[in-house]
Amino acid sequence: MPVLEKIRSKAGIFIAVFIGFALLAFILGDFFNSGQSLFNQSQMEVATMNGKSVSFPEFETKLNEITEVYKLKSGQTTIPENVSESLKEQAWQEMLIENVLNPEYEKLGLTVGKDELTDLVTGNNPSPVIRQNFGDPNTGEINKAGIARIWNNSEANPTWETLVIAIEKDITTERAYTKYANILRKGLYVPKFMSKNDFIETNEKVEVGFIVKRYTDIGDSAVKVTSSDLKKYYSEHKYLFEQTPSRDLEYITFDIVPSKDDFNKASEYINKVKAEFETTEDAKLYVNSNSDTQFDSKFYKQGELSDSLNKFMFAANEGAVFGPYFENETYKLARLVKVGNIPDSVKAQHILITPTEQSQAGVDKAKVLADSIKTALEKGGNFIEMAIRFSADKASLQKGGDLGWFKEGMMVPQFNDAAFSMRKGEVKVVETQYGYHVLQLTDKGPEVKKVQVAVLARKVDASTQTNQIIYSQASKFASENRTQDQFNKAIEASKGAIQKKLASSLTLNDKNIAGLEQPRAVIQWAYKAKKGEVSEVINLQNAFVVAVVSQVREDKFASFEQVKSEIELTVRKEKKGDLLAEQITKAKGGVSSIQDLASKLGVNVESASAISFSSFSIGSAGIEPKLIATSMLTKPNQLSEPVKGNNGVYVAYVTSKTPAEGKDYTMSEQKLSYTLQSRANYEFFESLKKLANIDDNRGKFY
């Protein structure tokens, strides 16, 4: 019974403790889940600007908007790599404007009104954005009537509406930036004393003789540099060692190159298909089905082909085959497809009709519209009016669809083939990846003999088997050398067979490492790794890479250890300078001329003429600003005090001084004013960006 009572009395405590633990687990679980959510949020952060977080989805939305506008402007459906990088940078700049500049505009109440925007589009002084998008590159003239039609009818054309919105945004951005810069420029002026000082610094001249005792005259062992000396210099000059976060890498590459067997197989293939290529009825289809390069429909005139091909093709009959031959790491066969008299260039105009929706119905609707425009033109319709009304090609819109003269091969194949086969004045509907073109040939140049050549190519690439062999070599090295010490010892042991390469001061957003194709994977790995860490095999387009992080720079200022060797050189030079200055001071006793001082010190007297405060260099001494300043401040016919320069310790002796004559400082004022005004155009943005404490993490995502 007492035992039962004891159990009952303890049960309440047990239950309370159990419930307490359950509640604690619930709270901690919620905390950790929240923490995980916060952690994920920080992982998805592209940047912070002015304390505001910019998430990856937010940046991607901006990038997609810009990309779609680019596609509409250019007519392209795919984006080349270099353009893609440019669009990412454009998206970044827009984010900077929204988060750094726009808050400043709001503080000042700076806006671009509706009437002002309209005037910037169609007024007498259009925005630079309008000139850029609609101005004739040769004459600078703008088709105002055409622009007005586009703006007035944009609501009825989704493509135009998208472009109009984008262009108006660009105009507003440009105008607001200009207004802000103008406000700042109006507040800048050059005081008279600055103009006067600049006038004197530019026009006051001296003739000077000087001697130098070089730092190299004293051996390193002659001066003692202690650890406390170095730390003291670092503490007093820490501002000199401000840095951008970066990484240094040591790496080796296992280049992905074809083996001898890969060359043999490519050669065997091209020889094997030669007979079939010679007899096939459709050379174009055969090339597109069997070659590593697509059929080139262009007609070439005499001299445009390689020497060997040119000689053969212009002497052969249609169907003749040249090769096999080896060119640009590729085995090739070339067959003469057609010979004809074709103009070297043609002149045309077009109206581009793009589907308004991504469906077969949208494509069919675009085709019907193109056919109806063609029919209307053949019945005497006005091409320019229809181009302005219907064409989606903004680039040619201000010219009423006129494309001017172009040579063969400058347009996409379908468009090119149609243009160079049409009669003057003929109208055709041509389908390309951009949509339907209502094409009219307006003129054509003189005809010349040209040939169309089908080239069957087999590139010599590293096979899968070769890739595996090279990868195995890289993987073996990486697995056996997991520390920086092992990494370097293995390279040394190879006795030159493995070459170590260096990549210094790589920032998170860097895109290039010399010799590597698209090395972003290497750079991104480096920012996840620790100092001394060796990577696994990193697969790039042209090589397998094994890398080690040799240096990590993360703080705002470089650490003492990072710059210790640099500081030691500086401090040692300072101490040598003190010794040399002491020697020179002793030698100066009882000496009044530079020649006598030079004799006592065993050095030569150098000379320089027409030296002013604004001089960049001084005679044989080169870039020595302290010597220049000392020369300007020393009275004529007196020896200066020793001055420590970049390369040694100097003494100057001014033989004559020509004062700056006149009191008209207008030129100096204009020069300084121009410098201030021009710097204001960009420095204010750089200053605002610095104040915004921008943390740029784009490199984690791209």
Break the chain into its structural domains and give their ranges.
2-43, 52-186, 205-243+561-658, 248-257+463-553, 260-342, 345-445
Q: What is the CATH number of domain 345-445?
A: 3.10.50.40
Flag residues of the chain having pLDDT under 50.
Answer: 1-39
Compute the 3-state secondary structure of the chain and give helix, strand, coil in percent, each to the nearest 5: 50, 20, 25
| The two three-digit tokens of residue 386, written as one number | 């229809």
| The two three-digit tokens of residue 443, written as one number | 């003129």
Nearest CA to 322 among 338, 337, 306, 309?
A: 309
| The two three-digit tokens of residue 368, written as one number | 């019907």
d(C-alpha 426, C-alpha 406), whole Å: 17
Write down the pLDDT at residue 207: 97
Angle at 398 between CA 397 and CA 403, to 5 degrees: 60
Write down the pLDDT at residue 356: 75
Write down the pLDDT at residue 49: 95
Write down the pLDDT at residue 137: 67
Judge if pTM exceeds 0.85: no
d(C-alpha 429, C-alpha 33), whole Å: 60
Fold match flag (248-257+463-553 vs 345-445): yes
d(C-alpha 119, C-alpha 180), whole Å: 19
Write down the pLDDT at residue 15: 37
What is the DSSP code string of 356-378? SSSSHHHHHHHHHHHHHHHHHHH
Could you give the strand order of the β-sheet that contains 538-539, starting from the edge strand earlier in sequence? 501-506, 246-255, 543-553, 538-539
List the beta bridge partners of residue 46: none
Write down the pLDDT at residue 40: 54
Which residue matches tokens 């998170």? 508
Q: Is 568 in a helix, a strand, or coil?
A: helix
Check: CB of residue 522 under 8 Å from CB of residue 547.
yes
* Torsion from C-alpha of 228, 229, 234, 237, nearest 10 degrees: 140
Q: Which residues contact 331 (CB under 8 A, 6 or more apart)?
A: 266, 267, 269, 270, 324, 325, 457, 458, 460
| The two three-digit tokens of residue 373, written as one number | 């425009």
Q: In this structure, which CATH number among 3.30.70, 3.30.2000, 3.10.50, 3.30.460 belongs to the domain 248-257+463-553? A: 3.10.50
Write down the pLDDT at residue 13: 39
Write down the pLDDT at residue 41: 58
Write down the pLDDT at residue 396: 80
What's the mean pLDDT when you consider all of the chain? 90
Nearest CA to 355 among 431, 440, 255?
A: 431
Compute CA 111 distance to the chain's CA centroid, rounded to the nearest angstrom. 31
Mutual orientation of helices 666-691 and 192-203 as an angle, nearest 10°? 110
